[in-house]
Structure 1
Amino acid sequence: MQLSPLRFRLLVISLLVVSFLGALDNTVVSTAIATVAGQLGALEHMSWIVVGYTLASTALLPVLGKLGDRIGPRAVFLASVAVFILSSVACGFANGIVWLIVARVVQGMSSAGLQLMSQTIIAETTTPRQRPKYLSIIGAAFPVAILIGPVLGGIITDYWGWPWVFWINAPVGIVAFVLAIIAVPHIQPGRSGRFDLAGAVALTVGLVALVLAVTGIGDRSQTVATVVAFAVAVVALAAFFVIELRVAEPLVSLAHFRDRTVATGTAISAIVGIGLFSITSYLPTYFQMAYRTTATVSGLVPIATVFGMLVSNLATGWLVSRTGHYRVYPLVGTTLGAVGLGAMALLPVGAPLWAPTIAMAVVGLGTGAFMSLIVAVVQSAVPRTETGSITASVNLVRQVGATVATALIGGIIGAGVVALAPGGLDPATLTPAAVHAQSPEVQQEIAQVYQGIFVPIFVALAATYVVGVVASILLPNSRLSDDPGPLRDAATESIAA
């Protein structure tokens, strides 16, 4: 769909603001969680402020993707923005933890539509060759939010009060909503027929149960509940696959995964969640314990990682839109990710901090090289009538991969510290401050413990990127087309085959 230059610029600005709003919300709130839960008198339920949001945003992705194909992405996008604004206001007015959790669930449901429909609308208003450039601009919202979100959340909480962590979304969201009404065009729906309600229910139940199960890993008091949740997840997801093979209009078309571009591209997308997003939140603790840095200094490594991701994300989007050739970037990117994490595993205790900073910056550079690009590549491999569904699938595997891997890594770290902590120290109270108060000998011993725990984690994550290298080799060596229709250059595709 061709738009005037002015309207297209307004469209990109609107989508960027909305994507940034959704990405920023979680990072800003993370800083204020303890304050919010404490003032509401419910510290024991603190984790549900995040878990409820994550569950809802994950489970709704395929449903919203299909709705975008059925009724048009504009309607789903505007509804998501409106609900996000209203639920943000409701979060700020919460006078109890139940109210807040319910409002966060609704907020999470709407946030799934913000990023998903932004990517879908870009796909509908650009050619396959143009998409990487504009998807990289939209995708830049996430690393920028990681960089400034925690600081912004702390400032708002300290000086304005925690309700403003949520209320700040309203004025920004209203501006974005008005811009969206003006700039987002009506896109003709491409699908008809009965909505796959049975598939939606089965997938939602399966995903919710899976996230709950992996969240409970490592908590011995939740062993029975975790096993039950895993069992429910297996049954529900098995039912979902059976349903999708039988219905006329499946929620997720499994037939698309017979296409090599879709199959390998989706696998590469999962690397972003499994290989990088899962470890980022644990890096500050690792450096405070193993390298004995302060909390402030320990944040430099994640910042370097995210900055590398931001730079390469924008650079590769621009380069691919200029040439149309894309295969080299995920291949180089996954290789850099494997090398960087392999270097992290080889670094000895006591290495200067610049060494892991460079190593993780390399991981960030590698990941950013295909983070947004691979979405454009997979979108270009299916008919436009199914853009929303396939975009949802790519985002779903990334988000589920990040959730599952994060929970597994947290469980491994927790179990390892309990098993290996020096005698006389309570693992449950082994904070960085407590460790730094110990003798140099004990600090060195604890550093060795954390090094021993994290080395196999880094090796496993490096192996994940190696799988990405293989998938990138198998990715067809095609060229993104300037044709706005479905999508690859037929000549290069036949050569690649």
Structure 2
Amino acid sequence: MADLIKTADGKAGGTPATKAEPPAPPQRSVRVVVLALMIAMLLAMLDNLIVGTAMPTIVGDLGGLEHLSWVVTAYTLATAASTPIWGKLGDMYGRKGIFLTSIVIFLIGSVLSGMAQDMGQLIGFRAIQGLGAGGLMVGVMAIIGDLVPPRERGKYQGMMAGVMAIAMIGGPLVGGTITDHLGWRWSFYINLPLGAVALVMITAVLHLPKRERTKRNVDYLGAALLTIGITAIVLVTTWGGSEYDWNSAVIMELIAIGVAALAGFLFVETKAAEPIIPLHIFRNRNFTLMSVVGFMAGFVMFGAVLFLPLYQQSVQHASATNSGLLLLPMLLSMMVVSLIAGRVTTSTGKYKVFPVVGSILMVIGLFLLAQMDTGTSRFTSGLYMAVLGAGMGFLMQITMLVAQNSVELKDMGVASSSTTLFRTLGSSFGVAIMGALFTGKVQDEMAAHGGGAATAHSAQLDAASLAKLPVPVREAYEFAVSSGTHIAFLVGASVGLVAVVASLFVKEVPLRGAGPEAKPAPAVAEI
């Protein structure tokens, strides 16, 4: 395949290109490459969902129940901490080689995880998997940023949203089927054929434009400080209110370490020759605002994915086996809206309306979900989820599109990784804060109306345990869960207002690339 497009670099400080764009590559060639990238993206998104379904079986085989949370935490920590480093390495040494390396590391981690003989080994190997996963998502976004001009990128938004929907719906179903018929180890080995296909396709068909790169020393000190800071933040949001009280010495120490490490990181980045995250990209107003919107979208999205199935299983008596299908109204709405928004963006070059409308719909959807109680039907909750899904559909890809359009091509990797990192941190904060509020409310309601402390210790009874409870206690638990989801989604709606405000200040800067009236982009909006 011929070399793909080159978008002219702008001047330092965020001034975009003043040269005309070269002709776009053949759409068929681009689609083949994007298909390979979507397979790699599916790898990262499916893994946690498949493994989550297999976890009870894994614990039964390996033991170590007390370390169960670390199987997820190790993966999340490695992914979050490595995300900005992968992005910078791609900018410095070339995206294709770095991306292929991340796939190989992910597959090695998958094989080792499947071979684990105890919980300690599994936790360590999951960290290796997470290290590779950090490069998968960033690599996909940055390569698409190189491959397709922003003006044309909307055509592929529906495909990305579709991959997310497939992962969320199919992950639990595939995980359950594999675990029941092949054993839990195959929940890791299943990554190998998908990864092999992605490796072969990307090696064969991905040809990125040649650019001069200045080889400089990697900012090891900045990378170390950023890793420590992110690790401390994720541990605070993971452990706070569950493993340790929020005001415990451990949480306070982690907060202090995180603040000190991030402050040191900001100082180091102002002095580094090749900073991990060049701070000048945040002088661009649109990039900073999209980082805020992305953080809020992550906060809301993953909180909803966590609590909606719990509500429907506990209150509406839905089957846990088909938990992915419970999110279908939200995911389908998100996919369709994302596809429409992408097409409109490509044809008109306009995008500001989408983050504004998306943020507003997100807040409305969360407020509607906060109104659910023990009498809410599945149809009604499905409509509410569709509203939230529409809001997320306007936001999920547009945030990345605008962020990438706001920086020079040489910073495409760090722009993609920074946006991904903010969304990841948002999801971590969302799950922690909404989870703490939900759990506290359920426990309070059960203590007050559930017939004693025996049921107050748990905020997440499974279907079998719930069925064994006396009718008055079960009804009290259903009320407690609906009260918990009410407070969680109400807080989510309040947080979402920040995204609405941020979106209103986005400046409509013409997208680089092809279009019916493509012109060189003017100076970007600086803060």
TM-score bin (small chain): over 0.9
- CA distance in structure 1 between the aligned counterparts of 2:338 and 2:303, rounded to whole angstroms: 19
Matched, 1:286 2:323: no
- CA distance in structure 2 between the aligned counterparts of 1:371 and 1:176, rounded to whole angstroms: 23
- Superposed counterparts of 1:357-372, under 5 Å: 357-372=382-397
Name the SS of the counterpart of 2:377 in structure 1: coil
- Superposed counterparts of 1:102-181, under 5 Å: 102-181=124-203
Q: Amino acid of the residue matched to residue 155 of structure 2?
A: K
Say if 1:139 and 1:245 are closer, same or farther in 2 by CA, change over 3 A. farther
Deviation, 1:457, is: 1.8
Name the SS of the counterpart of 1:11 in structure 2: helix
Matched, 1:353 2:378: yes
Deviation, 1:310, is: 1.9
Q: Deviations over 1:11-33 (max 9, x none)?
A: 11211111111111111111101
- CA distance in structure 2 between the aligned counterparts of 1:299 and 1:356, rounded to whole angstroms: 15
Name the SS of the counterpart of 1:481 in structure 2: coil
Q: Given that residues 400 and 419 in structure 2 are in contact (C-alpha distance below 8 angstroms), is that contact kept between their aligned partners in structure 1?
A: yes
- CA distance in structure 2 between the aligned counterparts of 1:296 and 1:30, rounded to whole angstroms: 12
Matched, 1:468 2:499: yes
- CA distance in structure 2 between the aligned counterparts of 1:251 and 1:219, rounded to whole angstroms: 33
Contiguous gaps of at least 5 residues in structure 2: 6-24
Q: Deviations over 1:303-340 (max 9, x none)?
A: 22222222222222222112211111111111111111
- CA distance in structure 1 between the aligned counterparts of 2:168 and 2:76, rounded to whole angstroms: 16
- CA distance in structure 2 between the aligned counterparts of 1:219 and 1:108, rounded to whole angstroms: 23
- CA distance in structure 2 between the aligned counterparts of 1:180 and 1:312, rounded to whole angstroms: 29
- CA distance in structure 2 between the aligned counterparts of 1:145 and 1:256, rounded to whole angstroms: 32
Which residue in the other structure is 2:338 paired with? 313
Which residue in the other structure is 1:275 paired with? 300
Name the SS of the counterpart of 1:219 in structure 2: coil
Name the SS of the counterpart of 2:354 in structure 1: helix
Which residue in the other structure is 1:423 paired with? 451
Q: Given that residues 305 and 364 in structure 1 are in contact (C-alpha distance below 8 angstroms), is that contact kept between their aligned partners in structure 2?
A: yes
Q: Given that residues 235 and 254 in structure 2 are in contact (C-alpha distance below 8 angstroms), is that contact kept between their aligned partners in structure 1?
A: yes
Which residue in the other structure is 2:21 paired with? none
Q: Amino acid of the residue matched to residue 196 of structure 2?
A: I
- CA distance in structure 2 between the aligned counterparts of 1:389 and 1:128, rounded to whole angstroms: 16
Q: Given that residues 110 and 188 in structure 2 are in contact (C-alpha distance below 8 angstroms), is that contact kept between their aligned partners in structure 1?
A: yes
2:239 paired residue among 209, 216, 226: 216
Matched, 1:23 2:52: no
Say if 1:219 and 1:374 are closer, same or farther in 2 by CA, change over 3 A. closer
Deviation, 1:481, is: 3.0
- Superposed counterparts of 1:161-310, under 5 Å: 161-187=183-209, 188=211, 190-219=213-242, 221=244, 223-295=248-320, 300-310=325-335
- CA distance in structure 1 between the aligned counterparts of 2:503 and 2:71, rounded to whole angstroms: 37
- Superposed counterparts of 1:387-466, under 5 Å: 387-421=412-446, 422-424=450-452, 425-429=454-458, 431=461, 432-466=463-497
Q: Given that residues 133 and 318 in structure 1 are in contact (C-alpha distance below 8 angstroms), is that contact kept between their aligned partners in structure 2?
A: yes
Q: Amino acid of the residue matched to residue 246 of structure 1?
A: K
Deviation, 1:410, is: 2.0
Q: Given that residues 57 and 110 in structure 1 are in contact (C-alpha distance below 8 angstroms), is that contact kept between their aligned partners in structure 2?
A: yes
- CA distance in structure 2 between the aligned counterparts of 1:51 and 1:423, rounded to whole angstroms: 34
- CA distance in structure 2 between the aligned counterparts of 1:479 and 1:221, rounded to whole angstroms: 49
- CA distance in structure 1 between the aligned counterparts of 2:278 and 2:158, rounded to whole angstroms: 26
Name the SS of the counterpart of 1:161 in structure 2: coil
Deviation, 1:142, is: 2.0
- CA distance in structure 1 between the aligned counterparts of 2:410 and 2:223, rounded to whole angstroms: 19
Deviation, 1:37, is: 2.3
- CA distance in structure 2 between the aligned counterparts of 1:488 and 1:113, rounded to whole angstroms: 33
RMSD: 2.4
2:97 paired residue among 75, 80, 97: 75
| Worse-matched range after superposition: 454-463 or 260-269 | 454-463
Say if 1:490 and 1:175 are closer, same or farther in 2 by CA, change over 3 A. closer
Say if 1:263 and 1:460 are closer, same or farther in 2 by CA, change over 3 A. same
Instruction: From the two aligned structures, give the one with the greater helix fraction.
Output: 1
Name the SS of the counterpart of 1:140 in structure 2: helix
Which residue in the other structure is 2:13 paired with? none
Number of residues of Structure 1 aligned to a counterpart in Structure 2: 494
Which residue in the other structure is 2:69 paired with? 47
| Worse-matched range after superposition: 363-372 or 80-89 | 80-89
Say if 1:451 and 1:41 are closer, same or farther in 2 by CA, change over 3 A. closer
Deviation, 1:160, is: 0.8
Q: Given that residues 191 and 385 in structure 1 are in contact (C-alpha distance below 8 angstroms), is that contact kept between their aligned partners in structure 2?
A: no
TM superposition score normalised by structure 1:
0.93
Q: Deviations over 1:355-378 (max 9, x none)?
A: 121111110111011201220111
Say if 1:190 and 1:347 are closer, same or farther in 2 by CA, change over 3 A. same
Deviation, 1:180, is: 0.6
Q: Given that residues 14 and 180 in structure 1 are in contact (C-alpha distance below 8 angstroms), is that contact kept between their aligned partners in structure 2?
A: yes
Matched, 1:100 2:125: no
Q: Given that residues 147 and 303 in structure 1 are in contact (C-alpha distance below 8 angstroms), is that contact kept between their aligned partners in structure 2?
A: yes
Q: Deviations over 1:243-288 (max 9, x none)?
A: 1223233211222212111111111111221112123112222233
- CA distance in structure 2 between the aligned counterparts of 1:275 and 1:25, rounded to whole angstroms: 21
Deviation, 1:451, is: 3.0
Deviation, 1:476, is: 0.7
Q: Given that residues 379 and 391 in structure 1 are in contact (C-alpha distance below 8 angstroms), is that contact kept between their aligned partners in structure 2?
A: yes
Q: Amino acid of the residue matched to residue 258 of structure 1?
A: R
| Worse-matched range after superposition: 5-14 or 366-375 | 5-14
Q: Amino acid of the residue matched to residue 325 of structure 1?
A: K
Which residue in the other structure is 2:508 paired with? 477
Q: Given that residues 36 and 202 in structure 2 are in contact (C-alpha distance below 8 angstroms), is that contact kept between their aligned partners in structure 1?
A: yes
Name the SS of the counterpart of 1:47 in structure 2: helix
Contiguous gaps of at least 5 residues in structure 1: none
Say if 1:227 and 1:481 are closer, same or farther in 2 by CA, change over 3 A. same
- CA distance in structure 2 between the aligned counterparts of 1:386 and 1:373, rounded to whole angstroms: 18
Q: Given that residues 271 and 398 in structure 1 are in contact (C-alpha distance below 8 angstroms), is that contact kept between their aligned partners in structure 2?
A: yes
Q: Amino acid of the residue matched to residue 99 of structure 1?
A: Q
- CA distance in structure 1 between the aligned counterparts of 2:320 and 2:97, rounded to whole angstroms: 44
Q: Deviations over 1:116-144 (max 9, x none)?
A: 11111111112120122235423432221
- CA distance in structure 2 between the aligned counterparts of 1:251 and 1:267, rounded to whole angstroms: 20
Q: Given that residues 211 and 403 in structure 1 are in contact (C-alpha distance below 8 angstroms), is that contact kept between their aligned partners in structure 2?
A: yes
Q: Given that residues 336 and 366 in structure 1 are in contact (C-alpha distance below 8 angstroms), is that contact kept between their aligned partners in structure 2?
A: yes
Q: Given that residues 269 and 371 in structure 1 are in contact (C-alpha distance below 8 angstroms), is that contact kept between their aligned partners in structure 2?
A: yes
Matched, 1:343 2:377: no
Say if 1:137 and 1:295 are closer, same or farther in 2 by CA, change over 3 A. closer
